[in-house]
Structure 1
Amino acid sequence: MTYKTLTAASLAALILGAGGAMADTWRYAFEEAMEEVQGKFAQKFKEEVEANSDHEVQLFPFGTLGESADIMEQAQSGILQFVDQSPGFTGALIPEAQVFFVPYLLPQDQEQLVSFFRNSKAIKELFPPLYAEQGLELLTMFPEGEVMMTTTTEVKSPEDLNEVKFRVMTNPLLVEGYKAFGATPTPLPWGEVYGALQTGIIQGQENPAFFIESTKMYEVTDYITRAGHNNFTTAVMANKDFFDGLSEDEQKVVQDAIAASFDYIVEYQTGLTEKSLEKIKEAKPEITITELSEEERAPFKATADSVEQEFLEIGGPKAQEILDQMKADLETATQ
């Protein structure tokens, strides 16, 4: 029996039967491995909660409970108390969250980026009601690193992506973004990506450098391109009924643990991109890593307006308000 064939009820039985039946145990699933960025955040959260309460936090890294869609379903149904998932996978549930895939919207400067995520009114005030409608309490969003393309052929312009089957998350705006870049976007669950690159079903994918290195995507691609078009964003959520049922003291424990984990993960990521690229170079000296010049980025940047307009069409009833507030937040962060 595979994880994909497990029903929510049987998953609950498995988890509870594995020793999670105690009321004091909180379950937290995420989309990456334990030693990747989301895993590091989760471990810090666990450490903080357990140091400041009687609760135990049980962690479930990628693959333990299925794919991204599976853990979201489990969080909404209350099997999981916490879940960490990119807006790339919640776009169908919360179309406004697709705003994070408008290319060249987020700044590349790390201090400005962190300031935006720490202080954004859009994240703190506008997004939480949208998540609440889906039975989720939005606790925080944080950046995971500059997104880079890995491909089997060199990419220096949108023309180089012509007819390239490029894996994207199952997110409508990300699909439109890569269409605008000239590629043939191909939504695939993460578990199928390595094999699809290896067999030539697809010829490219995107992720931060640490993830490219840890998942060995460089083994099945030959070029890494830094076009500066985005930074990978993720969101930590709680089941809303669970969170609302906590005492004020318990809610404060969760919120304080989230704040400490945010600070920790920002510090953890300092220099991580360059270290990861160095490891990739050591493992595969022949790989080509290219940072596009401003001139080379120009035709990619030229697609941003059309993708932004597409977001306003498919991004839900609050799309315009979200986009306007994010731009105001970003202007504040860059000052």
Structure 2
Amino acid sequence: MKFFNQKYLGGIAMAAVFAAGMSTAKADTWKYAFEEAITDVQGVFATKFKEELEKNTDHEVQLYPYGTLGESADIMEQAQAGILQFVDQSPGFTGSLIPEAQVFFVPYLLPSDTKELNSFFRNSKAINENFKDLYAQQNLELLTMFPEGEVVMTTKEEVRSPSDLDEVKFRVMTNPLLVESYKAFGATPTPLPWGEVYGGLQTNIIQGQENPLFFVDSTKMYEVTDVITYAGHNNFTTAVMANKEFYDGLSDEDKKAIQAATDAAFEYILDYQKGLSEQAIENIKKAKPDMKVVVLSEEERAPFKAAAATVEEKFIEMTGDSGKAILEQMKADLKAAMK
């Protein structure tokens, strides 16, 4: 009887060790890379996502800000290959991979009103259905898209009309439609990786670039340019994705936890951005009092808006029926958001 008890107790102990091992095996470490610093908008979103996921699961999320794993093209390749489980990247960089994603760079398409913009990103059928299918074809599970703030131009000379951009080498992301946009605006578009932009402006290889104000502030682009121009032409959009094979292999419980963390981070980042641009311009003016800020009037914006029509035509030409369908759906979604 004593022998039986020892065997029985030993069996329980072994089962407990095995169960503990199984529990540990289920808790994974997931890698998440993004295109900005940890204190920038994408970094704040990622931090909230990590916090929510780790609070509600046994998994750990490791965050990799810009530069730690290479340039934007590098982290996208790593995400598609499954080296990274999550990636945050603007459609500006995925445009060559998913041509239809370039629709976010059709000038004057997105509303400037924050409530309308947020409503569009929350409820858009184009984002939540059409784009999910397109990203899936590239082994990417689209979790969400969100706005990061109004895009401004920073240049060395004042910009009041397209003629002021004549012969200006303007840095753009490696995005065919963004190239077409700045051609239409009168500039000489110059695709460059982000890591080369500050030096390019400093040495006058380029004379302008565009980004949301918080990014102009955090990356100190104002140090190598002299004028900030609000043309009202766009709001910077970014997309959070998971490697699709990884995502499809997860339990329903983990998928729900990831979506819940995504939803929580989405609402958090929209709230976080209130007043962010105003704070950024205050910081810039404090650091560089002679920085000129130009807000184009509706009359001054008119020729830029006229140029946008040709960019829209180029988008349809580049993407065919698929792009046209996306554009039409987005316009329907935007109309709904404006009601």
**TM-score between both structures, scaled by the size of structure 2:** 0.92
Give matches, 1:276-295, under 5 Å.
276-295=280-299
Secondary structure, in 3 states, of the residue corresponding to 2:232? coil
Number of paired residues?
Answer: 315
Give matches, 1:115-194, under 5 Å.
115-194=119-198
> 1:219 maps to what in 2?
223
**Does the Cα contact within 8 Å between 1:96 and 1:316 map onto a contact in 2?**
no
Structure 2 residue 60 is matched with structure 1 residue 93? no
Secondary structure, in 3 states, of the residue corresponding to 1:246? coil
Structure 2 residue 284 is matched with structure 1 residue 270? no
Deviations 1:143-168 (A, max 9, x none): 00000000001101000000000000
Out of 312, 321, 327, the residue aligned to residue 325 of structure 2 is 321
Structure 1 residue 80 displacement after superposition? 0.2
- Using the alignment, how far apart are the partners of 1:308 and 1:255 within structure 2? 33
> 2:337 maps to what in 1?
333
> 2:49 maps to what in 1?
45
- Using the alignment, how far apart are the partners of 2:254 and 2:130 within structure 1? 24
Secondary structure, in 3 states, of the residue corresponding to 1:33? coil
Deviations 1:125-144 (A, max 9, x none): 10011000000000000000
Structure 1 residue 317 displacement after superposition? 4.4
Structure 2 residue 113 is matched with structure 1 residue 109? yes
Structure 2 residue 253 is matched with structure 1 residue 249? yes
Structure 2 residue 214 is matched with structure 1 residue 205? no
| Residue type of the alignment partner of 2:43 | G
Q: CA RMSD in A?
A: 1.0
Identity %: 73
- Using the alignment, how far apart are the partners of 2:202 and 2:93 within structure 1? 24
Secondary structure, in 3 states, of the residue corresponding to 1:32? coil
**Does the Cα contact within 8 Å between 2:56 and 2:257 map onto a contact in 1?**
yes
> 2:244 maps to what in 1?
240
**Does the Cα contact within 8 Å between 1:167 and 1:205 map onto a contact in 2?**
yes
Tell me whether 313-322 or 81-90 shows the greater mean CA deviation.
Answer: 313-322
- Using the alignment, how far apart are the partners of 2:161 and 2:324 within structure 1? 30
- Using the alignment, how far apart are the partners of 2:168 and 2:44 within structure 1? 33
**Does the Cα contact within 8 Å between 2:27 and 2:58 map onto a contact in 1?**
no
> 1:15 maps to what in 2?
none
> 1:68 maps to what in 2?
72
Structure 1 residue 22 displacement after superposition? 9.2
- Using the alignment, how far apart are the partners of 1:278 and 1:330 within structure 2? 31
Structure 1 residue 204 displacement after superposition? 0.1
| Residue type of the alignment partner of 2:289 | P
- Using the alignment, how far apart are the partners of 2:303 and 2:338 within structure 1? 24
Structure 1 residue 210 displacement after superposition? 0.2
Structure 1 residue 316 displacement after superposition? 4.9
**TM-score between both structures, scaled by the size of structure 1:** 0.93
Runs of 4+ in 1 over 2 A off after TM superposition: none
Secondary structure, in 3 states, of the residue corresponding to 1:34? coil
Deviations 1:279-309 (A, max 9, x none): 0000000000111110110110111111000
Deviations 1:75-107 (A, max 9, x none): 000000000000000001100000000000000
Structure 2 residue 302 is matched with structure 1 residue 298? yes
Structure 1 residue 315 displacement after superposition? 2.4
Structure 1 gaps of 5+ residues are 1-20
**Does the Cα contact within 8 Å between 1:25 and 1:57 map onto a contact in 2?**
yes
Larger Rg: 2
Secondary structure, in 3 states, of the residue corresponding to 1:46? helix
**Does the Cα contact within 8 Å between 2:35 and 2:72 map onto a contact in 1?**
yes
**Does the Cα contact within 8 Å between 1:168 and 1:205 map onto a contact in 2?**
yes
Structure 1 residue 23 displacement after superposition? 5.9
> 1:196 maps to what in 2?
200
**Does the Cα contact within 8 Å between 2:27 and 2:60 map onto a contact in 1?**
no
- Using the alignment, how far apart are the partners of 1:235 and 1:195 within structure 2? 27
**Does the Cα contact within 8 Å between 2:100 and 2:326 map onto a contact in 1?**
yes
| Residue type of the alignment partner of 1:209 | L
Secondary structure, in 3 states, of the residue corresponding to 2:54? helix
